[in-house]
């Protein structure tokens, strides 16, 4: 088998259909004007021209999934008594994420440390993750808001990818990164890619300079702790945030969730669903006490989690992959890269007098 492969552009869909034979394939598909990562089926229109609006995290961490089902049973001899049976399934089918971006692939590594590399691994995440191959498409042109290079990534970064794909006019150069990735070369649509290798690597190197670095520095951004701990700073910079939570749902590295029960008659399920730290009810306790009662405290926690708390736990790794989705899709244009720039202390002139238009924060 050759070390690398190439798929002609016109054979791409056939190639994906081939992959679909023994794996669930997720790919970026066009829905109206929107590019959505979803399961690839015949009839879906692929779109590899720009990063999908949503990250592929749903392939490994579904928006909603069953943790276990339960069944109540009446005692035959004493109908007032009930017993309960629980059933959990952590066996999942093979999956391929095709056309993720390097930022998306890096996002899975940020999940891995929390969900797998621990003495209490999450069996649902791990069950899916170990059976998922990530085939990543190098970025040739950044989208508005992208800043992967500023958080340790890049448009051809390999971290988290099993396969790296470089786009050519005629088709796609396919380069396995891991052992798992090598199996992709078995598909009959694959030609030997050797002749494209040199040019692909040249393009990969060049692409790095295309992405903006809002922090304008080499290495990872360092946050000024005194600025970070200043409540007025947060009130000022997040005053326009709507607490809609879009940034968390569209983030390849956000992993907060909720657990709820659904029941109908004597059967039901315990369900895990995405949740977000930007929502006021996220930390609201039964007693009515809320340790993060205001919008600015929630926002501070979100930025703190990505740029201070996660790095503190995981050897300096930042829990942001710079995909820019939270910037592109924020309805009021809150820009996390701008906030982190401010927090470096270089661009923020804080006068201690927030503009009059910024009122006191509310609980909403």
Partner 1 sequence: MTENKNPYLPDLATVIKVIDETPNIKSYQVILNDPEKMKTFFYEPGQVGQLSVFGVGESTFVINSPPTRMDYLQFSVMRVGEVTSVIHELHEGDQIGVRAPLGNWFPYEEMKGKKILFIGGGIGLAPLRTLILFMLDNRADYGDITILYGSRTPPDLCYKDDLKEWESRSDVSLILTVDTEYPGWDKRTGFVPTVLNEIAPSPEDTIAITCGPPIMIKFVLQNLAKLNFKDENIITTLEARMKCGIGICGRCNIGSKYICKDGPVFSLAQLKEYRAEI
Q: Give the residues lining the site for partner 1 (CB under 8 A).
A: 67-68, 70, 72, 81-84, 86, 88, 90, 114-115, 118-124, 229, 255-263, 268, 270, 272, 275, 277, 282-289, 291, 301, 304-305, 308-310, 312-313
The residue among 293 and 354 lying less far from partner 1, judged by its C-beta, is 293
Shortest distance, position 184 Cβ to partner 1, whole Å: 30
Shortest distance, position 163 Cβ to partner 1, whole Å: 28
Shortest distance, position 71 Cβ to partner 1, whole Å: 9
Which residues is 174 bridged to in the sheet?
5, 165
Shortest distance, position 86 Cβ to partner 1, whole Å: 6
Shortest distance, position 283 Cβ to partner 1, whole Å: 6
The residue among 136 and 253 lying less far from partner 1, judged by its C-beta, is 253
The residue among 124 and 233 lying less far from partner 1, judged by its C-beta, is 124
Shortest distance, position 65 Cβ to partner 1, whole Å: 11
The residue among 285 and 349 lying less far from partner 1, judged by its C-beta, is 285
* Length of the chain (residues): 364
Structure tokens at 167: 């786009």
The residue among 173 and 310 lying less far from partner 1, judged by its C-beta, is 310
Shortest distance, position 63 Cβ to partner 1, whole Å: 15
Which residue, among 106, 154, 144, has the nearest Cα to 330 in the 3D structure?
A: 144
Which residue, among 132, 109, 140, has the nearest Cα to 184 in the 3D structure?
A: 132
In the block, tokens 């392939």 appear at 59
* Separation CA 31–CA 45 (nearest Å): 8
Strand 191-192 with 5-8, pairing: antiparallel
Give CA 174 to chain center in angstroms: 23
The residue among 21 and 289 lying less far from partner 1, judged by its C-beta, is 289
* Separation CA 296–CA 23 (nearest Å): 43
* Separation CA 109–CA 122 (nearest Å): 14
Shortest distance, position 117 Cβ to partner 1, whole Å: 12
Please enumerate, as own/partner, the contacts of 316-319 that have beta carbons within 8 Å and a separation of 24 or more: 316/220, 317/110, 317/113, 317/152, 318/151, 318/152, 318/220, 318/221, 319/110, 319/253
The residue among 273 and 333 lying less far from partner 1, judged by its C-beta, is 273
The residue among 124 and 196 lying less far from partner 1, judged by its C-beta, is 124
The residue among 268 and 345 lying less far from partner 1, judged by its C-beta, is 268
87, 68 Cβ separation under 8 angstroms: yes
Shortest distance, position 364 Cβ to partner 1, whole Å: 18
* Separation CA 9–CA 162 (nearest Å): 21
> Given CA atoms 44, 48, 53, 55 in this order, what sign does their dihedral have?
positive
SS3 107: helix
41, 313 Cβ separation under 8 angstroms: no
């Amino acid at each position: 088998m050759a070390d690398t492969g190439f798929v002609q552009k016109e054979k791409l869909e056939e190639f994906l259909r081939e992959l679909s034979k023994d794996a669930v394939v997720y790919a970026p598909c066009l829905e109206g004007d929107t590019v959505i990562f979803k399961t690839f089926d015949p009839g879906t229109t692929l779109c590899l021209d720009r990063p999908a609006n949503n990250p592929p995290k749903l392939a490994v961490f579904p928006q909603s999934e069953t943790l276990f089902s339960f069944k109540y049973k009446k005692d035959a001899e004493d109908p007032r008594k009930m017993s309960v049976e629980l059933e959990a399934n952590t066996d999942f089918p093979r999956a391929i994420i095709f056309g993720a971006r390097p930022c998306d692939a890096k996002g899975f590594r940020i999940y891995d440390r929390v969900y797998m590399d621990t003495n209490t691994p999450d069996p649902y995440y791990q069950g899916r993750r170990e059976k998922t191959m990530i085939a990543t498409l190098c970025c040739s042109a950044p989208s508005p808001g992208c800043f992967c290079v500023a958080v340790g990534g890049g448009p051809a970064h390999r971290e988290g990818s099993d396969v790296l794909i470089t786009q050519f006019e005629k088709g796609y150069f396919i380069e396995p990164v891991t052992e798992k990735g090598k199996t992709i070369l078995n598909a009959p649509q694959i030609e030997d890619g050797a002749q494209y290798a040199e040019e692909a690597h040249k393009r990969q190197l060049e692409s790095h300079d295309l992405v903006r670095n809002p922090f304008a520095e080499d290495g990872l951004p360092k946050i000024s702790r005194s600025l970070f701990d200043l409540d007025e700073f947060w009130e000022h910079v997040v005053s326009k945030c709507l607490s809609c939570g879009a940034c968390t749902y569209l983030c390849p590295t956000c992993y907060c969730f909720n657990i709820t029960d659904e029941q109908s008659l004597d059967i039901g399920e315990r369900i895990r669903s995405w949740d977000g730290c930007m929502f006021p009810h996220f930390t609201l306790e039964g007693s009515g006490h809320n340790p993060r009662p205001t919008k600015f405290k929630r926002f501070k926690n979100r930025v703190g989690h990505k740029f201070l708390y996660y790095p503190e736990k995981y050897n300096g790794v930042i829990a942001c992959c710079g995909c820019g989705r939270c910037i592109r899709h924020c309805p009021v244009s809150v820009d996390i890269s701008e906030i982190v720039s401010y927090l470096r202390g270089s661009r923020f002139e804080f006068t201690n007098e927030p503009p009059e238009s910024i009122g006191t924060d509310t609980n909403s």
